[in-house]
Amino acid sequence: MKIGILDYEACNLSSIYYSIHRMGYDPTIINTAKEIKQIDKLIIPGVGSAKHCLDYIKKNGIFYEINEFLNFDKPILGICLGLQIFSKNLYEHGNSEGFGLFNAEVIPLNNSNHFNIGWSKINYNIANNLPTDIKTNDIFYFCHSYYLNFQNNEDKKNCVGYLNNDIFIPSILIKNNFIGVQFHPEKSQKNGENIIKYFLNL
């Protein structure tokens, strides 16, 4: 199994790389569109600006290859910003078009809470058939100032876990071969490791 971690020149590579390496795997850092064709599973890390990320991957032909990867039912794990770019529209540092897997826009957190950082307890959508190794762990490490805002109720069916303090923040989304998490599993100790294991075992 060949695991690729996408480098879009802004993301947090080392944490997720060493998390996977400690599990006994040897992931590859992906820098080009051509390299995406050679892997079986793709991880898109978080940290960075939405506009920079999307401009970079479109300019370098990576956007197209990720779409092909998705269409061929190969597993993708999107972390934080790596989840957000699979929405339709993003507004961080300018307007950007995402992959459109989810009918959602990525907008700033509200005025009373500009930044969500630290450990938070996840709520679960009981309508979903949750994987056991996900639903038994509910505290994860978050670090973000933007979030997915669904434009209809249809995509909420794909929302497995969420925060609901002042606003509804989708935190675990599973749709077909895509898993997206708003938190950072690579910084969430054992609970985060279980999320990564679930993805690697798909």
d(CA 11, CA 127): 33
Question: Of the listed 11, 53, 80, 159, which one is catalytic?
Answer: 80
Question: Of the listed 11, 144, 184, 193, which one is catalytic?
Answer: 184
Question: Of the listed 92, 105, 186, 193, which one is catalytic?
Answer: 186
Q: Which residues pair with 174 in a beta bridge?
A: 179
CA angle 158, 162, 168 (to 5 degrees): 100
d(CA 151, CA 118): 27
How far is residue 52 from each of residues 8, 81, 124, 134, 189, measured CA to CA in Å? 9, 11, 32, 31, 29
Amino acid occupying residue 135: K
- To which residue do tokens 């969420």 refer? 162
Under 8 Å CB-to-CB from 109, ≥6 apart: which residues? 115, 116, 144, 145, 146, 147, 167
- 186 labelled catalytic: yes
- To which residue do tokens 């993003």 refer? 90
d(CA 119, CA 187): 10
Residues involved in catalysis: 80, 184, 186
